[in-house]
Amino acid sequence: MARSALLNVMTQAAMKAGRSLIRDFGEVQNLQVSVKGPADFVSNADHRAEEIVFKELSRVRPDWGFLMEERGEVEGKDPQHRWIVDPLDGTTNFLHGIPNFAVSIALERDGQIVAGVIFNPAQDELFVAEKGGGAYVNDRRIRVSARTRLPECLFGTGTPFLGHGDHAGYLYELRQVIAESAGIRRMGAASLDLAYVAAGRLDGFWEKSLRPWDLAAGVILVREAGGFVTDMTGGKFDHMIGDIACGNEQIHKALTGLLSEAGRKRAAARAADGPVPGS
């Protein structure tokens, strides 16, 4: 595939950071780990990878700003452009020796995501997409799944965990989707979940309250692969809010229908102060 100059820059930054992560991954037991919050860890590997991405992108576009997981927002002189970066999506996987993590870089122009790169160094898979240019993995064109029947579909999701999310509400969502689908996977790196939807490996994905760096690159991959992306009710998607549901046209519609029904059941249970499924 022919890549634009910008996409080449993003790719080089992601792969260089990925090589750093692989070196640290080989010595994961020796990493110095600090705790940011309940079950939310950050390691020296995150910071090293983020510094690499920051330097590489700043070198070629010194006036552009950043929104980064560890460093936060860095304002640039150019208000139209901003890099959105997760240097290590799947930190908990990484720290447990599970090879499902990624470097994720997106380019935001005037508030819209126009390019994205997701690199899983453990699997040596590079997912790239640019607005109007299609989506690719390792230079091979990818498309969302063509499945149209829920019983044949495999869905990805992110689950609430210690100190995060609406655990009771999520059980309603899970119950609705489990009852209609071939299965659900929770793999621990939203960027790769979205890349897998783009590649047709997962038929759909949903999660609440993701951060912009978790999903910005993945969203353009799904869209450029022919998929639909909205919030969980089928409404307008906003990467700064982070509630997402996606899939091909038919499966996306069915998934948002299931999630909306879960929301109604949750609201009714709250109103009646009824029992929570699974409790």
Tell me the binding residues for Mg(2+). 69, 86, 88-89, 214
* CA atoms of 168 and 186, how far apart (whole Å): 17
Question: Are 144 and 198 contacting, i.e. CB atoms less than 8 angstroms apart?
Answer: yes
Q: What is the DSSP secondary-structure string of 90-149?
A: THHHHHTT-S--EEEEEEEETTEEEEEEEEETTTTEEEEEETTS-EEETTEE--------
Angle (nearest 5°) at CA 164 between 162 and 169: 105
Tell me the binding residues. 69, 86, 88-89, 214
Cα 136 versus chain centre, distance: 16
Q: How far is CA 231 from CA 11, 32, 59, 120, 198, in A?
A: 28, 37, 35, 26, 17
Encoded amino acid at 196, one letter: Y
Encoded amino acid at 200, one letter: G
List the one residue out of 245, 6, 206, 238 whose CA is nearest residue 106.
6
Question: Are 75 and 83 contacting, i.e. CB atoms less than 8 angstroms apart?
Answer: no
* CA atoms of 156 and 175, how far apart (whole Å): 14
